[in-house]
Amino acid sequence: MLLKLENVTKRFGGLVAVNKLDLEVEEGEALGIVGPNGSGKTTLYNLISGVYIPDEGKIIFEGKDITNLPPHKRAPLGLARTFQIPRPFGSASVRENVAIGAMFGRAHAGVDEALEMADEYLKIVGIYELRNKEAKLLTPLEKKLMELARALAMKPKLLLLDELLAGMNPKDIDKIIDLIKRVKEEENIAVVSMVEHLMHAITKFAERVVVMHQGRKLLEGPTIEVLNHPEVIEVYLGGRVV
């Protein structure tokens, strides 16, 4: 077991964003998290990466209790994430952005080594030719690829992708899914991918999905089976959920 959430709850005032959630991620697995807007997916990511501390429950990573660990202590253990809206270090070059990932993530590389790793990962995601560009000048797609390279350069054991594929055309989506699958196999990374609407993409990628609704886990299981479940369809089409 790589990551385990036990009975995790996070409240914002009266709103319960994540409600008594249990979640398990195996080493090297591809997990999809789907759920409509406001179902608590991003809060869940923030809880795992340490941006928020849960009000109740426990988070265990590789057998270690990380519930109250600050984010900067979690990343070196092997956690990495991308953001729904990319957050590049704008005035730094693309290469420096990725190198920062390699320096402070689990890779813990020295400066020169990190810059070499940055080149390597930029080649993997296919934006090596942009390496000297200021990160803020990239297109949205390029920024997402750069964030992916930056997260991979951290050499994570668990990679959290936050709507990485949203807004991309089908051709790019296929390309990136292939890429993630390849790196995942090579480096044995567990990848959790969160999507709101791109169901066909999640079927290509995830072996297992968790459906979230109103902060709770609605269903969990093999991808196709779960996504065809009547309850899931109801959640998405706005039907009544018991």
Partner 1 sequence: MFKFKSLIIPFAIYIILIAIGLSQPGLWQPIMYIMFYIGIGVALNNFMGLTGYVDFGYVAFLAMGAYGMGVALGYFTYLGIWAIPLGFVLALIFAALLCTAVGGVALRLRGAYFAIATIGVNEGLRYLIEGAKIWGGSEGIILSGKLRKTFGPEFANYLSTFVADAALIIIIFIASVITVYMINSRVGYALLAVREDEDAAKVMGINVTKYKLIAFFTSATIGAMIGASAWTLKLTYVFPEDVFFIHYTVEAIVIVMLGGAGTLLGPVVGGLIYGALKYYLSVILPGFQLLVFAPLLLVIVVAFPEGVVGFVKKKLQERGIIEYIT
Angle at 196 between CA 191 and CA 200, to 5 degrees: 75
Provide, rounded to whole angstroms, the least separation between the CB of residue 103 and partner 1: 6
> Measuring CA to CA, which residue among 182, 190, 187, 181 is closest to residue 160?
190
Provide, rounded to whole angstroms, the least separation between the CB of residue 52 and partner 1: 12
Read off φ and ψ for residue 4, nearest 5 degrees: -140, 125
Provide, rounded to whole angstroms, the least separation between the CB of residue 205 and partner 1: 23
Any idea how long the chain is? 242
The yes or no reply on residue 49 touching partner 1 (CB under 8 A) is yes
Among 1, 27, 87, 129, binds partner 1 (CB under 8 A): 87
Provide, rounded to whole angstroms, the least separation between the CB of residue 120 and partner 1: 17
Residue 13, burial from CB neighbour count under 10 angstroms (0-12, 13-18, 19+): exposed
Among 16, 51, 137, 199, binds partner 1 (CB under 8 A): 51
- x/- track of binding to partner 1 for residues 97-116 (CB under 8 A): --xxx-xxxx---xxx-x--
Chain residues binding partner 1 by CB under 8 A are: 49-51, 70-76, 80-81, 83, 87-92, 96, 99-101, 103-106, 110-112, 114, 132, 150, 154
